[in-house]
Amino acid sequence: MLPIAMTTGASIYLIYNAVPCLHRYGSFLSGIVSGLQPICIFTMLFLTFCRIEPKDLKPHRWHWWLLLIQGGLFSALGLLAYWLLDAFPVAGREWVVLMEGAMLCLICPTATAAAVVTRKLGGDVPGITTYIILINLLTAVLVPLIVPLVHPVAEIDFWTAFSMIMAKVFPLLIMPCMAAWLVRYLFPKVHRWLMRFPDLAFYIWAFALTLAICLTTRFIVHSEMSIMMLLLMAFISLVCCVFQFAAGRFVGGQYKPRRKGSSAEADAELLQRGKALRKVTAGQSLGQKNTVFAIWLGYTFMTPETAIVGGLYSIWHNLYNSWQLNRK
């Protein structure tokens, strides 16, 4: 599905760009895509949370370390970009664009498909699902706080910008969870019917990825950035991808379950399995991203070209996941 979705998305825009008679519908089509993307993100999260038993959601210590890494680095880069814009309003603009790309890669929530990949890799599905909820909460708060500093809008003060971004981001990330649990307890028949389609969220994700790559291709085709800048964006997305998978696996590997009343020697096999499980789960939690959200966030609230970084990150993390699944 990955190569099909990405190839289809790129091909759709290249065909549109090559056929002049279609250009008159450009604004209409752009509006449709812009409207469909948040709907797809909401629906994917809703269907994912429908499959979660609230009693299975238990925060672990490694969750807080991953949240600190994502939130801390995003905030630090945001403050650095704010300082650069203040000190070097013109010269620092290109560096800020690159920082915005890195910020997107870092704060982007965990992909809804991460639970599927984690299960196939033998990881802890409730653990990664808990992290999806926690990182969505953190993103819904931090993005409205930091983005107006990095990318101020003319004639709009900070708190107005904060309210505007919060109004779009918070419902998109938090309301699906609330809606899913309301359906579970108030409309059990609807919930059971939805559970008959276990792969529906995956195919919606593939459709959303097609739209996201279509937009990314548009930004690349019409971008006035140099080849060097595009290569730097590709490099930044790759570095962020490698760092986050590695950092997640490292943090996860520090926590080993131990049964009470048993010695470490007697539980050596259990400890080894538990360590591997946490490494896989934490690695996917930090490294596998909802890049459709990153692309939407980039072209909606930041410099549109930064959305390219989200599209490139999608390539890197899916290549790594393909290698992991093949190896497993």
The band of 264, judged by pLDDT with boundaries at 50, 70 and 90, is low
Say what the pTM is.
0.82
Region 54-79: what's the mean pLDDT? 90
Q: Which residue has tokens 């792969």?
A: 199
Instruction: Show the tokens assigned to 229.
Output: 């800048």
Instruction: Show the tokens assigned to 214.
Output: 């279509």
Task: Using the predicted structure, report yes or no on whether residue 189 has a pLDDT greater than 80.
Answer: yes
Q: How many CB atoms lie under 10 A from the CB of residue 175?
A: 14
Region 236-244: what's the mean pLDDT? 94
The band of 272, judged by pLDDT with boundaries at 50, 70 and 90, is low
Region 244-259: what's the mean pLDDT? 81
Q: Which helix (H) or strand (E) holds 123?
A: none
CA 67 – CA 78 distance, rounded (Å) = 16
pLDDT of residue 267: 54
Q: How many CB atoms lie under 10 A from the CB of residue 218?
A: 24
CA 214 – CA 13 distance, rounded (Å) = 6
pLDDT of residue 255: 67
Task: Using the predicted structure, report yes or no on whether residue 84 has a pLDDT greater than 60.
Answer: yes
The band of 69, judged by pLDDT with boundaries at 50, 70 and 90, is very high
Residues near 328 by Cβ (< 8 Å), separated by ≥ 6? 120, 121, 122
Q: How many CB atoms lie under 10 A from the CB of residue 83?
A: 12
Q: What percent of the chain has pLDDT over 90?
A: 20
3-state secondary structure at position 289: strand
Question: Within a 13 Å sphere around the CA of 108, how many CA atoms are in the beta-carbon half?
Answer: 35
Residue type, 8: T
CA 208 – CA 147 distance, rounded (Å) = 24
3-state secondary structure at position 156: coil
Distances 48 to 123, 196, 249 between C-alpha atoms, Å: 17, 13, 23
Task: Using the predicted structure, report yes or no on whether residue 126 has a pLDDT greater than 60.
Answer: yes
